[in-house]
Structures are given as C-alpha cells and as structure tokens.
Amino acid sequence: MRSLFPLYSSSSLFSNFSSSPYNSFISSLPLLFSSSHFSPFLSMAPAFEQVPVPQEGETGTETATPHNTNTGNNGGNDGQVGYKSRVTVVGSGNWGSVAAKLIASNTLKLNSFHDEVRMWVFEETLLSGEKLTDVINRTNENVKYLPGIKLGKNVIADPDIHNAVKDANMLVFVIPHQFMDGICKSLIDKVRGDAEAISLIKGMEVKMEGPCMISTLISEQLGINCSVLMGANIANEIAVEKFSEATVGYRDNREIAEQWVQLFSTPYFMVTPVQDVEGVELCGTLKNVVALAAGFVDGLDMGNNTKAAIMRIGLREMRAFSKLLFSSVRDSTFFESCGVADVITTCLGGRNRKVAEAFAKNGGKRSFDELEAEMLQGQKLQGVSTAREVYEVLSHRGWLELFPLFATVHEICIGRLPPSAIVEYSEKKPRLSLLEDSTRCH
Ligand SMILES: NC(=O)c1ccc[n+]([C@@H]2O[C@H](COP(=O)([O-])OP(=O)(O)OC[C@H]3O[C@@H](n4cnc5c(N)ncnc54)[C@H](O)[C@@H]3O)[C@@H](O)[C@H]2O)c1
C-alpha cells in the first residue's frame, strides 16, 4: 500500500509565498481596518488583481468593449456605439440556475448588457407532467434544481440549445462535465464567431493524447476564447445571498476578464481575476477528489485532525499535479478562492463529501451510482469520474507513486481498497525529486 504522509512537509507548501501578492497584502493591512461599511474584504481587494465591482444601482459604460474582434458568423457589431452584449447560460442545474440569477441581476443594472439572459435547459418532464422549461418560465423558479429561489424575470428558459446560443456573444457553460463533449459537438458552427465563453464546469476529459481541460475543449471545438470561473461556491449558499468569493481565470485579455467580473459580481459575490486559466480550472476540478477523501474520513469518524491532514495533503497534490501538467500554473492561484477556500468548503459541505461519507459508512458495499441516485435527486457527482480521469493520467505517465491520495481515492471508489485505506501507508519511498522539480516556484 502506498504512503500518504511521508511525501509532505508543510513548509514546502508555504515556502513559495514570499513574492509580491503576499507583500502587497501585508502593505494593504491598514486599509483592511479603514473600511466605513461592511466588507473589509473589498477594501483589501486592491492588493490582489481586483477590478471595480458594480454596486447596487450603478450602471456600466454606454458602449461595451466588443469582445473578440476577429471574424464571426454574426459579429457585425464591432465598434458600434451603444453595442450591448447578450448573455446565454448553457446549463440549468443547481449552480447553473444560481449563475443565471447572479448574471440576471447585473444585466438589469449594467447598460452594456441586454437585460434578457437566456438559459438553456436540458428538457425534463416533471412528475406533474409539465415540462421543466414551461414551469421555469411560468414561476421564474427552477423547481427541480433550485426550488424556492426566484431567478429574475429577465431569465428566459429555452430547451432549444441552438436557439439559446445563436445571438449570444457571452456564453456561460455550466453543466456536468461528462455531457460537455456531446454539447460542444452539437454547437460546432452554431455560435457567433465573436463570442467569448466562460466555463464554470469542474472536471476534465481524458483523451488518447492526454488530459484536456473543459475550457480547452470549448475553445478548440467552438473556435472561441474561453475563460473560467471557480471558487468556494456551494450553489445553495450563494442562492440565498450569503457572502462568498470566486476567481476568474483568464488567458491574456484583461478587458475580457473585467467583463466577466462585472457580469458576476454582486455585493455578496466578490470575483477576482487571475491570469492563470489552467491553474484556476485545475483547482476547481481536483478539489472534488480531495472532497471524496474528506468524506471517507467523515464516514469513518476519524475526526478533525485527520480531515485537516487530508485537506493539506490534497492541496499539495493539487498543486503538484497542476504544475506537472502545466508549468505556467502559478503558486499564488492556490491561495485564491478557487484554491484553498474551495478545498475547505467542499470538504466541509459539498455533495462529493456527503456521498463519500455515506459510501464509507456502508463499508463500500453500496456503489457511488446507487448513492448518487438516492441522495442527489438528479444532481451529478463530479468527484468519482474526476478521480478516475486523474488516475488514468497518473498511470499513463508513471506518476501513481507521486500522488498517493489521488490514487487511493480512485482505488477506494472502484472497490479495490477499503475506505480505511485513505489513511494507511507503508514505508515505500515516493520519487520526491520529480515532485520537487515540478513544484518549484516561478
Ligand atoms: N452545485 C454547486 O454547488 C456547484 C458549485 C460550483 C460548481 N459546480 C459545477 O457546475 C457544473 C454544473 O453543476 P450543476 O450544479 O449546475 O448541475 P446539477 O448537478 O445540479 O444538475 C445536473 C444538470 O445536468 C443536466 N443534465 C442531465 N442529463 C443531461 C444530459 N444528457 N445532457 C446535458 N445536461 C444534462 C440536468 O438537466 C441538470 O441541469 C458541474 O461541473 C459542477 O461541478 C457546481
């Protein structure tokens, strides 16, 4: 059995944070205490890559920056005064519905956006016999995935995906990752050439040639730029407007990042852009594997110290794995909302943790599929498929010994190891040199 613990010393996780973001945080401390109203967080924000956040009642500029100014099948608006962006949300599950609500509250306030937000709905017939789309448009609520929350009257549910995306120049993708390949294929040549995308999806595709992030899948298949938004974001908490943060990962166009920040930010949802798409996306993807480990620990009643150890080891593996795959990934990203904060919230409260706890309590005798169907009422578990995908990468590249937590989680999920294996270890020495090289600060 492989060792979880000898690999990790806490000092190395924190040793790389003496660079500028940390220093500017220290220098911003006086600001932290000078805020006149709620949100000390907002006054500290300029220390990081914060951009202005629209406040209640504030409107945006009259002329939106046209996004991708290249070609496009419907991109004739470049440079027009008064040009307004149109937003479509592709997906309408728990987080998709909350995203639509956040966006819809902002498009009403910001002049640079059309008020209407289209939301593509994977059509379902409810027990009442009605179509989910009809019920959303009649009640303004997603009664199946976000009951009790008004989305905003400017959210229009649409079961026809081609119709939903055809006019939009800002596309928000938020569906379980296992459906994305099919969705992307169905959208080839159907989206505007000048569209910008953002992915809120946690997960990756593993192909013959290696792992493919969902943002890359979207970019490559649809020929458009794709940013990402990840963070400590349990949808039901944001739905009732409890304060939280998120991170936008962007590739090179800061203006686009600012558009996304404007579109999502509210006084209770603070969004920070960082120029690290892969780092942000891998954080959001990998933390679900750590959450399964935390759930096993909970199911076995191992207590808080063990769970904290699992979170730390998990974060360490997240960083090492991300940097081995993409050398551009920044250490500082792991200290944003998408990193440590998302690990904490998912290990305390997310659905992956919850189902993994039940799995461990049942001694691994009931499958994840069975528990997902019973406990989540149509919502999807991402961690189990992500653990399998990560395992495929690890075995293909000969990295299994370097990532004992990730590897063990998958082996528990498929019944090869018992849940208690999450904290069992041997004397086997991992190949530290490779891991250390990969995690060197840059
Ligand atoms: N829920 C959260 O708290 C949360 C928070 C942050 C990120 N996310 C991420 O957001 C993404 C979407 O999650 P969610 O919570 O909105 O969804 P969900 O799990 O609540 O709902 C599942 C969705 O998938 C749709 N669906 C079912 N079969 C489908 C098919 N064959 N093709 C296309 N769609 C199908 C359903 O209609 C439903 O809208 C995931 O990647 C998730 O990890 C979720």
DSSP E strand boundaries for 91-213: 113-120, 155-158, 170-173, 196-199, 204-207, 210-213
**Domains: count for the chain:** 2
- 215 has which bridge partners? none
Q: What is the position in ligand 1's atom list of the atom closest to the CA of 122?
A: 37
Residues 106 and 118 occupy one common structural domain: yes
Q: Both tokens of residue 322?
A: 């991300």
* Residue from 122, 213, 345 whose mutation best tests the ligand 1 pocket (most atoms within 8 A of CB): 122
Distance CA 20, CA 285 (A): 27
CA of 275 to the centre of ligand 1 (A): 26
Averaged pLDDT of the chain: 83
pLDDT at 21 > cutoff 80: no
Residues 252 and 319 occupy one common structural domain: no
Residues 235 and 118 occupy one common structural domain: yes
Residues 176 and 262 occupy one common structural domain: yes
Question: Is there a domain that residue 296 lies in?
Answer: yes
**Pairwise pLDDT comparison (440 vs 415), residue with the higher score:** 415
Residues 414 and 379 occupy one common structural domain: yes
Distance CA 111, CA 107 (A): 7
Burial 243-254 (b: 16+ CB within 10 A, else e): ebbbbbbbbebe
pLDDT at 327 > cutoff 70: yes
Residue that terminates a domain, selected from 260, 275, 290:
275
What band does 38 get if pLDDT is binned at 50, 70 and 90?
very low
pLDDT at 42 > cutoff 50: no
pLDDT at 381 > cutoff 60: yes
User: Model confidence over 54-78: pLDDT tens digits?
Assistant: 443 343 333 334 344 333 344 444 4
| Residues acting as catalytic residues | 287
Query: How much is the pTM?
Result: 0.83
**Which residue do the tokens 């928000």 mark?**
172
Question: Is there a domain that residue 93 lies in?
Answer: yes
The pLDDT assigned to 416 comes to 95
Residue having the nearest C-alpha atom to atom 40 of ligand 1: 176
CA of 91 to the centre of ligand 1 (A): 7
Pairing type for strands 244-249 and 269-274 reads parallel
User: Model confidence over 253-278: pLDDT tens digits?
Assistant: 999 999 999 999 999 999 999 999 99
CA 408 vs. chain centroid, Å, equals 23
CA of 383 to the centre of ligand 1 (A): 13
Q: Please answer whether residues 356 and 294 qualify as being in contact, where contact means their C-beta atoms are separated by less than 8 angstroms.
A: yes
**Pairwise pLDDT comparison (427 vs 81), residue with the higher score:** 81
Q: Pick the range with the lowest mean pLDDT from 58-72, 104-118, 218-232, 426-440.
A: 58-72
* Residue from 95, 145, 160 whose mutation best tests the ligand 1 pocket (most atoms within 8 A of CB): 95
**Pairwise pLDDT comparison (110 vs 16), residue with the higher score:** 110
Looking at residues 319-337, what average pLDDT do you find? 96
Please give all residues whose beta carbon lies within 6 A of any atom in ligand 1, as ranges. Answer: 91-96, 122, 145, 174-177, 179, 200-203, 233-235, 379-380, 382
Question: Is there a domain that residue 32 lies in?
Answer: no
pLDDT at 116 > cutoff 90: yes
- DSSP helix/strand/coil, 90: strand
Q: What count of residues does the chain have? A: 442
Residue having the nearest C-alpha atom to atom 31 of ligand 1: 179
Residue having the nearest C-alpha atom to atom 28 of ligand 1: 122
What band does 33 get if pLDDT is binned at 50, 70 and 90?
very low
CA of 197 to the centre of ligand 1 (A): 17
For the chain, what percent of residues have pLDDT higher than 70?
77
What band does 424 get if pLDDT is binned at 50, 70 and 90?
confident
Residues 187 and 76 occupy one common structural domain: yes
Residues 240 and 285 occupy one common structural domain: no
Residue that terminates a domain, selected from 237, 255, 275:
275
Question: Is there a domain that residue 28 lies in?
Answer: no
Residues 82 and 218 occupy one common structural domain: yes
The pLDDT assigned to 3 comes to 52
Which structural domain range is residue 375 located in? Answer: 10-19+279-438
**Pairwise pLDDT comparison (192 vs 15), residue with the higher score:** 192
The CATH number linked to 348 is 1.10.1040.10
Q: What is the position in ligand 1's atom list of the atom closest to the CA of 376?
A: 19
Residues 80 and 214 occupy one common structural domain: yes
What band does 5 get if pLDDT is binned at 50, 70 and 90?
very low
Residues 178 and 210 occupy one common structural domain: yes
pLDDT at 49 > cutoff 80: no
Residues 235 and 335 occupy one common structural domain: no
pLDDT at 53 > cutoff 70: no
Looking at residues 343-363, what average pLDDT do you find? 96
Burial 273-299 (b: 16+ CB within 10 A, else e): bbbbbbbbbbbbbbbbbbbbbbbbbbb
User: Model confidence over 284-305: pLDDT tens digits?
Assistant: 999 999 999 999 999 999 999 9
The pLDDT assigned to 15 comes to 33
Q: How far apart are the first and last CA of the chain?
A: 33
Looking at residues 415-442, what average pLDDT do you find? 63
Closest CA to 269 of 297, 234, 222: 234
Residue that terminates a domain, selected from 248, 275, 302:
275
Q: Which long-range contacts (CB under 8 A, 24 or more apart) does 134-139 make?
A: 136/92
Residue having the nearest C-alpha atom to atom 44 of ligand 1: 95
Looking at residues 331-355, what average pLDDT do you find? 97
CA of 95 to the centre of ligand 1 (A): 7
Question: Is there a domain that residue 155 lies in?
Answer: yes
Residues 133 and 183 occupy one common structural domain: yes
The pLDDT assigned to 61 comes to 31
Distance CA 417, CA 405 (A): 12
